[in-house]
Structure 1
């Protein structure tokens, strides 16, 4: 595992070796799905979304700490990576299903399914990054939601 200072600088959890920045790949499309009923012009962006592996995401985005992130990923405990990859695979599948709903013009159904199916998986993935197993509450998630609520009133 890279040195603790390098992990901290790259926003990597020191115990799991994972970075929440990867989840932005999913957060963006879930946010677009949620907005879709009121902003149907977002449909093309939703349909343009494609699965992207953890490593490929950091390579593609040019993340400043990508070498550290990828090294930490390879050094992460096997069980942590396996759990995280299971969640990511489920998210990829759900979003592909939601894209089919969008293609069929069911924007409201896609938005509701994003809230009921994708968002809980995203919460579980965030928790996994922070060393929590599915079903545990991630204290950082509550703080993050409170910040968003305060920002948007």
Structure 2
């Protein structure tokens, strides 16, 4: 049997002093960004996707689960409330960065004429978004116990900054 380090860590962190299950963060929230990533990657080969990507909207973790009918919604919110405020703020900043990437691509898609380097911009933005989703998943899977701001990925930030300057 193979057990991942993330699952082992999450299992340990999920039990409180009495052995009961403590509330857990949920990666369901990241499906929003995964959807945007899929649309971004499809838009270069199918122009009809532009409208779907333009309709995409970001909401925060709390808003996502307040509106959710998932059984885990209440626990996900309780776990979010227990995350260290500085770590929660860093996570929310990563979420804002993901949203800015999607919105930047959206803004370029409505330009007329479209920039000739748009396919390359979408490729860079997609890769950056994929990395940020992965970073966010690590944070959520560790139930907020890792410092998402401590990830040393200066190259990713430079890519995001360069994209936003366009």
| Fold shared by both chains (TM-score > 0.5) | yes
The structure whose residues are more often helix, as a share, is 1
User: Cα distance 1:60–1:39, how it changes in 2: closer, same or farther (>3 A)?
Assistant: farther
Partner of 2:32: 25
Deviates more, 1:61-70 or 1:99-108: 99-108
Distance, in Å, in 2 between the alignment partners of 1:109 and 1:65 is 39
Q: How does 1:37-56 map to 2 (within 5 A)?
A: 37-56=44-63
Please name the residue that 1:140 is paired with. none
Q: Please, which runs of 5 or more residues in structure 2 have no aligned partner?
A: 1-13, 154-166
Check the 8 A contact 2:30/2:137 in 1, yes or no.
Answer: yes
Determine the structure 2 residue equivalent to 1:64: 71
Distance 2:67 2:87 in 1: 23
Counterpart contact for 2:60–2:92, Cα < 8 Å: no
| 1:114 counterpart = 2:109 | no
Equivalent-residue separation in structure 2 for 1:122 and 1:113 (angstroms)? 14
What secondary structure, in the 3-state scheme, does the structure 2 residue paired with 1:40 have?
A: coil
**CA deviation after TM superposition for structure 1 residue 32, in Å:** 0.8
User: 1:96 deviation in Å?
Assistant: 1.1
Instruction: Tell me: CA distance 1:2–1:103, structure 2 relative to 1, closer, same or farther (3 Å).
Output: farther
Tell whether the 8 Å contact from 1:36 to 1:43 is kept in structure 2 after alignment: yes
